[in-house]
Chain A
Amino acid sequence: MEAKTVMCSYLSRKMSKVRWKPDNDVPCSKFLTGSWGESSQRLPNVEDIQGNAVQLWKYIPNMDPIPLYTMEHAGDVTELKFIDTKSFLVSSSQGTLQLGQIVHDKDETFFNIKSLNSWSNIHAYKNGTPSSLTSFARSKNGVVTVGDDGRLVVISLDNPTPLCSIEDPFNSAIKCVSFIDHKSVITGNALGSLKVWDLSSGQPKPVFSLPSTLKLVSINFIQQKPSQQHLLFVGSDDGSITVWDMRNTDSPIILNTAHNEYYQHHPFPRI
C-alpha cells in the first residue's frame, strides 16, 4: 500500500461513528460523523448546534475537514450507515432510527440533511424508558434493528411504523445484527450468544443458536465477508474475532485474539 501522510484534526465533538459518503466518482470527498456523550446542557450565546449531532464534512487533502452541515441528534449515535450515495440511516441510544438524505444546491455550496423518515422509540423497556438501539442491518426489503431491550424490530423504509417488533424475553440485550441471506438474520447478545432468526414469515422466529464459546462476553459486531457471504466475522468485548462458516455451525473455524481490548467494528475494504 502506498504510504500517505496522516492528517490530524481536532473536532469539537466526541465521535462514535465516521462513514465516507459513497460516491460514484472515487475517491470519496465527503463523510458523515456521529457523536456520543455530548452534554445536553446548552452553552449561552453559542449559535452552533450543541449536543449530539450528525455532521457532514468535506475532505480536502492536507486541510482541516470543512463542516458542511450539522443535524441535531437525540442521544448518542450508535450506528451510521449509508444506504446509497445520498441517503443514510442513523440509530440512537434513545431507541430511534432515522433515515436522512444529503441534499445540496447545483454548485454544491449549500448542503442540508433532510430527515426522510424517523421511527421513534422503537426500542424501549417495559416501563417506557427508551433503550439503546444498538445495531441495525439492511437488506433489499427492509431494515432489522436490535436493542438493549432485547427486541428485534422489522422496518420497511417507506412505512412510518415498524412492521413488527418482537421481544426475546428469555435473553439479554442484543448488541448486533447482520443478514445471512435475504430471509434470515443473525444476532449477537451481551452474553456472547449468537442466534439465527428466520424472517420469511414476516415475524422473526428464532431458528437456532450457534455454540459460541464466549462466556459473559458481549458480541460487538457481526459482519459478512462480501466475497464469501457464508463467512461471518464476529467481534467481541475481549478483543477476539471469531470466524463462522454458516455451512457448518458446529464450531467456529478461526478464533483470533488480535486485540486486547474490545473490538468494535471490522470494515472490509471496498473493492
Chain B
Amino acid sequence: MAFSSKTKSKKNLTLLHPITRTLVSESTNIFLSVQEINQLNSFELRQEVLNSSKKYRCIIRECIQRLESTSNRNDDYVSSLCDVFYTTELCWHLCEILYLEPVPGDVILPLLKRWIQFHFVNYESIAVKIMKYQDSEEAVSNVDTESLVPDYWSTIFGLLCQGNSQLACKLVELHSKANTSAFIKAIKFLKYIPEFDNLDAQSVIEFEHSWQTWRSKVKSDVEAGTFSPDKNLETAMKIIIGDMSVDKVLRKHSASWYQYLIAKLLYTQPSIKSSQLEHYVTDAMKLYRVSENPELLSILLKSLLEKDLLTSTKGFLNMTDNCWCATHLTNLLQIGQYIPVNSSTNERLDKKLIIGYGKFLIESEVFWEIGVLYLRSCKQEGFQVLKTVLPEIQLDNDYVAKKVLRIAHENNLFSVVQSVCSKRSEKYIELGRYVDALAWAIKGKNHDLAASLADIFLNNYVETHEMPLLEVVDHLGTKALFVDRLMFLVKFVQYCNKKNKKEFTDGLSLLIDLLVNNMVPTYFKLTYFMEISTLLSSSLTEANKTDLVQILHSIEDYSNEFEAIPMNEDDKNTKQKYDEFLKKINPLRKQVITLLALASLP
C-alpha cells in the first residue's frame, strides 16, 4: 500500500471533514462488535456479518445525506467526498448481494434488480411526478397524456429497464387509450410478469416454466401485431420479451453498462445464477466503450460481478477514502469466511489492511485513540506496530501523555511507557520544572535521567543550600530507589527533614550510613562534610566513638583522593581550590579529633 506523498495528503482529507469524522467514529463501534462475532456458529455468524454489512452501509448513506445537505455541497471538496462514498456504497451493496445475502436457488436477478432500483431512482421519481400530475385538475381537462408529458414513454422504458414493471404498468394505465384492446392486453401482460418468489416455495424449474409460458404468449401477440397500433407500446412489449430489435432503446435508457446488463438479463435470463454473470459483463462493457480504459467504479463492479475478490480488494484500496472501505469490507468478508485464510502462512488478508488503517488513524493526529483500537484487534502484529507508532504521538501536555501511558500499560508495552515518561521528563527539564521531571523519570524508570536530575538537585544544594524536594520526598516512594544517585538524594532529603526537625542525632547517623556505604558523590563530599560539621557543633547531637572514627576515616580518604589529583604548580585555579579545601576540612578534622578525645575520656 505505497502511496505517493501527493495522493496521501489528498487522501488524508477525506476522513477529516467534520461530517466524515462521525463516520470514522461510528464505524469503529461496528468494527469492534464484528470482531466479537467470531465465536458464533456458522449460520449465526453469517447472519451477523450480513447485519453488520447493512449497518456499515446505513452509516455511509447517512454520511452522504449529511454531506448533501451541507450549505456548501457544490464545493469541490464536499462533492468529491459525496462521489467517494456514493461509489463505496454502490459497490458495497453489490458485494453484499453477491457474497453475503443468502440467495434462494442462486437466482440472483431479483436482488440485482433491487440493487439497481435502490440506487437509481430517476425514473421512479419522474413516474411519481407524472402520476401526481395526472391527478391534478389540469390533467383532467386534457385527454392526451402522451403529448402533455413528454417523458411519458421514456419513463416507462426506463422503469422496464430497471425491472420495475409494476410502476411501468401503472403509468401505462394512465394512457388516454388505456381502454383499447391493445393496452388492456399489454397491461395484463405487465401485471403478470412471473417473478421468482422463494416464499411460494417455488422451484427454479417451475419459475422458468411459468416465465417461458408467459413470454411465448407475449411474443405471439407481438408477432401477431396486437400492439402495432401504438409503436411505443409495441416497443415496451418487445423490451419485456427480450427482443434484440429494441436493444437500442435498452441502451438509451440505461445510463451505464451495469444498468444495461441487468436490464438485458432481466428479460432474457431471469433465472441466471451468480456464477454465470461473468459471461455477460465484458460484452456490456464493450458496448459502453468502458472496457479499454475503465474508471475505478467499472473496475470494481466488473470484478465483483465476476466474483474476483482479489481484484475487488485492490480496487477498494485505490479509493480515496484512506482504505476505510477496503479495511471494513475485507474484514467483514474474512470474518464471514468468504475469503479463505492462506493455509500455508495462516495469514489473513484483512490484517494488513486493518493495521494500515489503524496506523493512518494514529498518524492523523485527531483519531489516534481510535487507531489504537484497530491495531489492538490484530493482536500480536498490531502490538508490534503500536510499539513503534505510539511513541510518535505528540505529547502536548500531561493529559495526552497520560492517555498514551494508559494504553501502553493496558497492552504491556513497557518500551512505550519508558519513552513517554522520558519525553515528559525531558520536557520538564527544558521548562525548569525539575520536580516534575524527576517524577516522570522515576515513573519511566529512566536511570540516566533520574541520575542526572538527582545531580541537578544536589548541585543546586551545593550552591544554594536549598532542597526543593522536602515536601515531595515522601511521595516519591520506594519506586525512587532504583538508581544509587537517586537513593542517595532521597536519603539526603530525609536527612534535611530531620535537620529541620532538629533531630540531629538521627540525622548524623543517616549521614554516616551513607558515608560508610560510599554513596556520596565526589562533587558533593565537601558540602556533605560541612553538614556533618554543623551537626557536630550542636549540643543536641550525640556522636559515639565509632561514628567519629568513621568520619575521621572518611575525611582522610577524601583528602587522599583530593591530593592524588596531579597538580601543576602554575595552575593557580587548582591550587586555590586545594587551599579552600584545606581551609574547610582542617577545622572539621580538628573538631572530630577533639570530640574523639573527649569521647575516649574515662
A residues engaging B (CB < 8 A)?
A: 10-12, 14, 16, 36-39, 41, 43-48, 50, 76, 78, 93, 125-127, 129, 131-132, 148-150, 169-173, 175, 190-193, 209, 212, 214-216, 218, 237, 261-262
Which candidate, B151-159, B263-271, B313-321, B397-405, is the interface stretch facing chain A? B397-405
From the candidates A39, A148, A150, A171, name the one contacting B398 in the complex (CB within 8 A). A148
Please, which residues of chain B bring their CB within 8 A of the CB of A131? Answer: 431
Does B143 sit at the interface, judged by CB under 8 A?
A: no
Please, which residues of chain A bring their CB within 8 A of the CB of B431? Answer: 125-127, 129, 131
B19-33 CB mask vs A (1 if < 8 Å, else 0) is 101100110000000
- Give the shortest distance, in Å, between B492 (CB) and chain A (any CB): 15
B508-545 CB mask vs A (1 if < 8 Å, else 0) is 00000000000000000000000000000000000000
Bound-complex Cα distance A127 to B429 (A) = 12
Residue of B with least CB distance to A76: B399
Contact assessment for A45 and B22 in the assembled complex, using a CB-CB cutoff below 8 Å: no
What are the 6 A-B residue pairs with the smallest beta carbon separation, nearest first? A215-B477, A12-B18, A10-B22, A191-B475, A170-B468, A125-B431
Bound-complex Cα distance A11 to B26 (A) = 10
Contact assessment for A190 and B436 in the assembled complex, using a CB-CB cutoff below 8 Å: yes
- Give the shortest distance, in Å, between B507 (CB) and chain A (any CB): 20
Please, which residues of chain A bring their CB within 8 A of the CB of B477? Answer: 215-216
Contact assessment for B433 and A149 in the assembled complex, using a CB-CB cutoff below 8 Å: yes
Q: A39-B366, A43-B77, A46-B18 are in contact. List 19 more A-B contacts (CB 8 A).
A: A10-B26, A12-B19, A36-B399, A38-B366, A39-B365, A43-B16, A43-B17, A45-B78, A46-B17, A50-B18, A93-B399, A149-B433, A169-B468, A172-B439, A172-B472, A173-B433, A191-B475, A215-B475, A215-B476
Bound-complex Cα distance A11 to B365 (A) = 17
From the candidates A78, A126, A171, A262, name the one contacting B435 in the complex (CB within 8 A). A171
Q: Is the interface of B mostly helix, strand, loop or mixed?
A: helix
Within 8 A of A (CB), among B3-24: 13, 16-19, 21-22
- Give the shortest distance, in Å, between B467 (CB) and chain A (any CB): 8
Q: How many residues of B contact A (CB 8 A)?
A: 44
Residue of A with least CB distance to B467: A170
Contact assessment for A193 and B471 in the assembled complex, using a CB-CB cutoff below 8 Å: yes
Number of A-B contacts defined by CB within 8 Å: 120
Does B119 sit at the interface, judged by CB under 8 A?
A: no
Please, which residues of chain A bring their CB within 8 A of the CB of B479? Answer: 215-216
Contact assessment for A173 and B436 in the assembled complex, using a CB-CB cutoff below 8 Å: yes
Contact assessment for A173 and B475 in the assembled complex, using a CB-CB cutoff below 8 Å: no
Please, which residues of chain B bring their CB within 8 A of the CB of A126? Answer: 431-432
- Give the shortest distance, in Å, between B70 (CB) and chain A (any CB): 8
- Give the shortest distance, in Å, between B497 (CB) and chain A (any CB): 12
Bound-complex Cα distance A237 to B443 (A) = 13
Within 8 A of A (CB), among B224-253: none
Within 8 A of A (CB), among B432-455: 432-433, 435-436, 439, 442-443
